[in-house]
Structure 1
């Protein structure tokens, strides 16, 4: 907005709410506005003494090109001090992208964990759920009467139940008896219908049985829409667009990225971005024993989240530099170690941190900068991973901490993060 005083030579310029300045110029003079890298505005006005353009002098914090003009009237309202509030109208609009946990005091390696559970769905799966629903809406696949159906071990089911409730769709989640009771109740609280499969397929296991049941639902009701997280490009696309760039911004000197392998949406989205933009970063997949994703033998698994009973359709092995396979006993031990430092994460986090620590100990130095992801928080696992009785039932004494927990030295200073230069 421009405003001239009575002489017609003083112009007040509002720079899109970013900054403001007053300049005195001759009528008809062009005043140029430039923006710095941090988004602030600066004026470049003609120098009245030389006729050349250049930055005007600074007086009392304002850039001027002549005698100071009278102060402009105060705006009708001023924003409150501090950052603007984060106001959302849909739960999927909020996510935390820049929270990392320094794991050096726990694993003795320069490993940092990107926390992905700080959102209304409580897990990294919110990105995939929101992206897949939006893509289906844009493609015209969803109508007000549509019923979204999906196979999920838990977290994606919660995220889809929440997004479906917000968007007004019915949702049916097909899961199995490894899904935590709390997770099932969460889905039902959002209005979802949960089908629990307990009898595995003789060849493809519980996942195969879930997919057969889902196909039957689609065959019987033409209003059902299967988003198919296993092959939907929006799954990996969400992490290509948001997760990987956030990691790269936070750690420009990153050397190794560890990502858990489930459906491989998170793994592929991050791996593809780094191979295209930062090919110097090694991408290491973390899988769990009993999973066949990378060719290992199938065996029973008790902790949902990572691993597959079939080769993930989304997996592109050429984008992965190495693979670490972690036994579930290491998963529960690492979860206990993290909890005893005050960080309550889910089972998948215990798996990826245990695998990352093992890989770094063998292939890197204690100062090699590395990042992994924590897919969710641990409250949903209180009756399983964090239950001594549950661990004893499934793993015996091997499910307990294998060595005494080392408390941090209260007087020791926390070392700074590794240099990113």
Structure 2
């Protein structure tokens, strides 16, 4: 297998040590619920961390290095994802898996060349298409349907995707314990949730953990469902401008999620997910098309593998709004770099416009790109 490293071993270790300093000296903020302003909220997550040896300073929770290392030591090296049809995919076994973009708001209509809001029917249709594409080995709910109330969008994505695929369906991003409960009940229709469901929670960069999100993490851990913490920092706005500094902050947010989950459920399967993006300085827009995204994703892979965890990062990514040459070269470059770095799972099938829009036609193109990238990563034998 061809392998690419964008960081030397000592650089990975330097980022790890910087992460430990961030967590032990700067700490993280556990924010009160939005409807409970006032003094620092004494949440269950805060109590769990303090009881485990964390320290509270100036309203922030500081995690000592030994607490972080203990949590990492209990994480298993592989995560098994089961589909409704009996298919099992194992992240961390050396294979490269692909899934689609998740949560796009708009649909690129290839018949008109125009965008339109995604609807519930699109969630069903796109899931059936992904189920038929060989390159998509796992699936995540693709569109955020605009014809359901905002509070129900995340669950509607999962509910309408679930009956339309037999592949492993990774659950939606959740931000409250109530959403976790509903997702567990939906997954329970087809089997044990800890076999058929994985869930993600995103902290707020930089280093902020709203209490609702913490409660969601605790609920996931108690259910024993594979957990994919998903920080989404943007270098230059919610993270340092340098890629190395932003990777250290992203890692601190990831490790905080892992510590919380492992304190509640030691041995909980963890997928190390990083979604570090770049900022366009003139506008403040998030940039998914520059090759820096591929570099950041490759660095994330190396850091996650330092902990022995399966890693999921951005793959097929572009800022293009249409099916043009910019779209092609941006997404291919950003997929190849982390793939050769050893990513266990890459996202982005069907993605356009920095994740705001998705395209049915693009999914078919990406199915071909994914096959080519997988073949490239495999290299060839010099035995003949």
> Normalized per residue, which structure has more helix?
2
> Normalized per residue, which structure has more strand?
1
TM-score normalised by L of structure 1: 0.25
Pick the structure with greater CA Rg: 1
TM-score normalised by L of structure 2: 0.27
